[in-house]
Amino acid sequence: MERREFLTRTAAVTGGAAFAAGPFHGLVATAANPAPGSGRAPATPALGPLKPVADDRDGQVRLHLPDGFSYRSFSAVGDPMDDGYPAPARPDGMAAFRGWGGTTVLVRNHEVPGTPGAFGNLAQAYDTLGGGGTTTLTVNRHGRLTDQRISLNGTIMNCSGGPMPWGAWISAEETIDGPDVKSPVPGADNSKLKKKHGYIFEVPLRGASSSEPVRAAGRFQHESVCFDPTSGALYLTEDNPLFPSGFYRYLPPVHPMRAGRVLDGGRLQMLAVAGTPRAQLQLGQPKGAAYGVNWVDIDDPDPTFSPGATWFDAAPTVSREGQAKGAAVFSRLEGAVYQDGSVYFVSTQGGDAAPGDEFPPGPGGLSAFGAGRGQVWAYDIRHQRLRLVYQSPHSSVLDMPDNIAVSPRGTLILCEDGEEENYLRGLTARGALFDIARLAPVAGDPDAEFAGSTFDPDGHTLYVNVQSRAGCTIAIRGPWL
């Protein structure tokens, strides 16, 4: 048995936190006990060993998959799109929606940093120097791409976001760039930017975004967004690599299901642990750790910085206001998904490092905020209860989870963003991990990673992005659990 497989099986005991009965119980069907009344068949904790599988498009091996699975890639970086522009670089977060006539519509982020200039039509760009944005892809019932075009441009570092049930994608900028902030990206000149950045933007399934930011939802290094249909709140994660990150909620002035979109002018809040000011949740947690929470208001969600402010001055501003009021801190919050009254989200570097598994020093000798290899958290909205779902015991088991999705049967799908091999991993309710796919090494691009996993509305196809120099979107089909 390979060391990774041994550690993976052991992790079900040493790293996982089994869900108690109640709001966390129905996340997934376990091997022996499917959720009562769920109608779900018992799931197995593994799909089988992974083997090299050739891409149906061109025969190249891009993924290792279990027996019975196949895939097809499309919309690679630089491919000509239907609006006449090349497909942008660095595909990242993504969501799948039911389209028209049996089609699936994918809205896909592009995490382009700095100020290289907007792709697409400059007349529609939020800021003509911003290199990020979104593209919208249409795939037919046979899994073939039929249309692709730009739907948001002129933004910066569009990392992730989240789907909205009225048929829209919220795209989030993982930056606080603007003419008031010196860029940390070599060669980038923020003084030429026309607009402040660090916001969320709504992108409709048809047509292009209005490019109007929701400023009251905060100017910080956004990552993911998910929506609670009962309260109308948006839950937001912050991915700050060198400073504490917060978990936020945005309360729009009108319920988005009534307004038909997310309106600006609402209230931003940051999560705090009841009775424990500035709780250090980036640290290793005991198995089954759970906390009651409350929320603190952010009075200045859209700060403007003094001329010449550096990224180090500006990036933690919103989080620091929350911390001063007692808010809790995490290490690099990334993927988030809403499921059955709870929000599941990941802390990419949460936990404690195992001996010999420490991170090397970061840029300039700085270490990233957080020493572990990843945590998965669940926030029960109704009971205002935060619970640790899983904590990685070692990078060989789970290495820096990033984007997450949920399968039709409830299994959490984790995209790894680690230092070596990257996997798509499934997480069961009892804390057991299993392999779904491994990314084949990308020549000349050791930082290639999975991103943007999302199931189509029927649950037959898992779409995922490969973020690399020749990045693309991949549709995976097979006997899903």
pLDDT digits (tens, 9 = 90+) for 413-433: 999 988 778 899 999 877 789
More confident residue, 47 or 153: 153
Residue 215, φ and ψ in degrees, nearest 5: -65, -35
Structure-token pair, residue 187: 């060669």
Only one residue has tokens 């009971």, namely: 383
Q: Which residues contact 381 (CB under 8 A, 6 or more apart)?
A: 228, 230, 231, 233, 341, 342, 343
Residue type, 423: Y
Q: Which residues contact 6 (CB under 8 A, 6 or more apart)?
A: none
pTM of the model: 0.90
Over the stretch 124-182, which tens digit does the pLDDT of each residue have?
999 999 999 999 999 998 889 999 999 999 999 999 999 999 999 999 999 999 999 99
DSSP 111-173: ---S-S--SS-GGG-SSTT--EEEEEEEE-TTS-EEEEEEEEEEES-EEEEEEETTTEEEEEE
Mean pLDDT (whole number) for 374-391:
97
The continuous run of DSSP H or E covering 258 comes out as helix 256-259
**481 band by pLDDT with thresholds 50, 70 and 90:** low
Task: Determine contact, residues 49/62, Cβ cutoff 8 Å.
Answer: no
Mean pLDDT (whole number) for 309-323:
96
**446 band by pLDDT with thresholds 50, 70 and 90:** confident
Cα separation, 343 vs 445, in Å, equals 33
Q: What average pLDDT is seen over the chain? A: 88
Only one residue has tokens 């060993």, namely: 49
**363 band by pLDDT with thresholds 50, 70 and 90:** low
Greatest mean pLDDT range, 14-18, 408-412, 440-444:
408-412
**269 band by pLDDT with thresholds 50, 70 and 90:** very high
Cα separation, 17 vs 65, in Å, equals 27
**361 band by pLDDT with thresholds 50, 70 and 90:** low
**368 band by pLDDT with thresholds 50, 70 and 90:** low
Question: CA angle, corner 462, sides to 41 and 217, nearest 5?
Answer: 105
Helices (H) and strands (E) in the chain, counts: 4, 28
